[in-house]
Structure 1
Amino acid sequence: MTATDPTMTALAHSWSALSVLHGRIESRVERALQAGHGLSAREYSLLDVLSRQHDGEGGHLQMRQVADSVVLSQSATTRLVTRMEDRGLLARYLCPTDRRGIYTDVTDDGRRLLEEARPTHNAALREALDQAAADPALAPLVQAIGQLPGDVRSV
């Protein structure tokens, strides 16, 4: 295989298109959440993931699972949780069955902010995807996103 191999060139172009789409979506969502709610896209993601926890079997996420869900390293996730805890949006507590385990939950203030921010997030996401769908290089990716299962985190 050479650097000018058409297969690799096509793959590189596809990867570039995916990167461009991600950047556009993240940028639009970030601006909308910051302007409307003083919340970053990562903070929104963290609130969203943690708000889906439940008290049943396997309902609370370990920090490693949270980090995977918000696509951050475990240490970056811990720093983000600390900042959001300082803002009163999250609270940590010891696992009742394993004193070594520490869980994080969304506070009432965090839930309120998440619910206020959700329409802003969804509208910015929809606008970014609609704009990308008009770009012939990105339209196939937008179409593929529309065909994904409702909750790809379970895949």
Structure 2
Amino acid sequence: MTRPDQTLSQRWCALSALHGRIETTVERALQAAHGLSVREYSVLNVLVQQHDGTGGHVRMNELAEAVVLSQSATTRLVNRLEDRGLLTRYLCADDRRGIYTDVTDTGRALLEEARPTNDAALDRALTEAGTHPELAPLVDALRTPAGPVAGVPAGAPSEA
């Protein structure tokens, strides 16, 4: 996957650079075409993936973990999405301390509209990054189909 002469620190720097390139490219595309940030897209994607029919939902703490944000950052993000009518929140019937988040039909429609933009931007970013020798092995690893990744929650976003 990586050159044997690279140190762990060098490989980490390459991974960080690749992530930054991907996130910047996808962010610009999603913002321009759909008014969505990468994080907003990720939240909607997680909610749609976790939805299991009527009453499908995700607890706020699970959502924060899935999109790798702090509880407070997730709450602010969810507030913005709720204000736009893209998701809803409600108290858990069994545990009044638990708050669930669910995607609305409007949020689901926006996500489906934005998905091709996300995928095309992701492909562009990976193609460009693959031209850099230090990033090419990481790009190859991402493009190679594999089984589930240990530690990644089901429905976690596949994009950067």
Give the TM-score, by structure 2 length.
0.83
In the other structure, the counterpart of 1:73 is 70
- Alpha-carbon RMSD: 2.2
Q: CA deviation at 1:98?
A: 2.2
User: Does 1:32 find its partner at 2:39?
Assistant: no
Return structure 1 stretches of 4+ with deviation > 4 angstroms: none
Please give the secondary structure, in 1, of the residue aligned with 2:43. Answer: helix
The Cα of 1:96 is off from its aligned counterpart by 2.5
Cα 1:39/1:142, change in 2 over 3 Å = same
Residue matched to 1:21: 18
Distance in 1 (alpha carbons) for counterparts of 2:113 and 2:95: 34
SS at match of 1:105: strand
TM-score by length of 1: 0.85
CA contact (8 A) 2:58 2:102 kept: no
Partner Cα distance (2:110, 2:97) in 1: 30
Give the match's secondary structure for 1:118: helix
Give the drift of 1:132. Answer: 1.0
Distance 1:119 1:88 in 2: 22
Match of 1:144 among 126, 141, 146: 141
Unaligned runs of 5+ in 1: 1-6
CA distance in 2, matches of 1:42, 1:28: 13
1:70 partner letter: V
Specify the structure having the higher radius of gyration (Cα): 1
Q: 1:5-154, aligned counterparts within 5 Å?
A: 10-55=7-52, 60-147=57-144, 149=146, 151-152=148-149, 153-154=152-153
What is the CA distance between 1:11 and its match in structure 2?
Answer: 2.0
Q: CA deviation at 1:63?
A: 1.5
List gaps (5 residues or longer) in structure 2.
155-160
| Higher RCO (C-alpha 8 Å, min separation 6) | 2
| Greater helix fraction, Structure 1 or Structure 2 | 1
Question: Structure 1: how far apart are the matches of 2:31 and 2:46?
Answer: 19
Partners of 2:15 and 2:69 lie apart in 1 by 19
Q: Secondary structure at the match of 1:52?
A: helix
Q: 1:143 to 1:25 in 2, by over 3 A?
A: same
Change over 3 Å in CA distance of 1:60–1:154 after alignment to 2: same
